[in-house]
Amino acid sequence: MLFDKYRYVVVEGPIGVGKTSLARRLAQHLNASTLLEKPEENPFLARFYEDPTRHALATQLFFLFQRGNEVRELTQMDFFQQSTVADYLFDKDMLFAQLNLAEAEFALYQQIYHSLSVQAPAPDLVIYLQASVDTLLARVHKRALRYEQNISDEYLVRLAQSYSDFFYHYDAAPVLVVNSDNLNLVENDEDFALLLQRIRDMRGSREFFSLGG
């Protein structure tokens, strides 16, 4: 019944917040397909975390082309036959570009971005996961992906703020803002059930869900 209203759901948030794990659990629960980022396929990503200035443009362009191809496939899907849960919003690609690229590189990126003319379908719902920087760092270290071990506290602070600014202005789809500091939405069945209930109860275009610590 949940997907009678929401056929295309996106889970978003900064690195380490748990968006991919939640997207997978939602898709499994709802018998939906998944559209997931594939950072392990980006050959520049590990080098970016080691030397951001040198490798930011190559990293960003690889993600742009990768996500552009996936979004084109998504536009050809029949949403009445197949529901989809994604762990990224195509529009946020610009967020990372603004955060990581120098002025001249960003100007070049924008030209390429607009030349692709990718028309991403708007989600029916965005679940925007938030967490404190301490929580993000703890989760990054827990999953122990090699290419993420050079992520700095300062970068996560800037990234979390960029996400906050982005979603403050985002109005292309309804947004459920979830503070995940005190929630385990993947491993705790009660927390997951609370999330599903909040989604079912959504009436406005922007609502908030959190548990006090």
pLDDT digits (tens, 9 = 90+) for 26-52: 999 988 989 998 999 999 998 998 899
Per-residue DSSP letters for 105-136?
A: HHHHHHHHHHHHT--PPPPSEEEEEE--HHHH
- CA 148/CA 133 separation, integer angstroms: 15
> What's the domain range around 71?
2-209
Residue 78: the pLDDT is: 61
Joined together, the tokens standing for residue 163 give 């996400």
Residue 211: the pLDDT is: 82
CATH at residue 58: 3.40.50.300
Average pLDDT over residues 100-113: 94
Asked whether 32 and 85 are in contact (CB, 8 A), the reply is: yes
Domain count, the chain: 1
What does pLDDT average to over the chain? 88
- The tokens 């404190």 sit on which residue? 132
| Range from 8-17, 134-143, 174-183 carrying the lowest mean pLDDT | 134-143
Joined together, the tokens standing for residue 121 give 């379908």
Average pLDDT over residues 9-35: 93
Q: Is the pLDDT of residue 107 over 90?
A: yes
Q: Would you tell me how many other CB atoms lie within 10 Å of the CB of residue 140?
A: 18
Strands 33-35 and 84-86: parallel
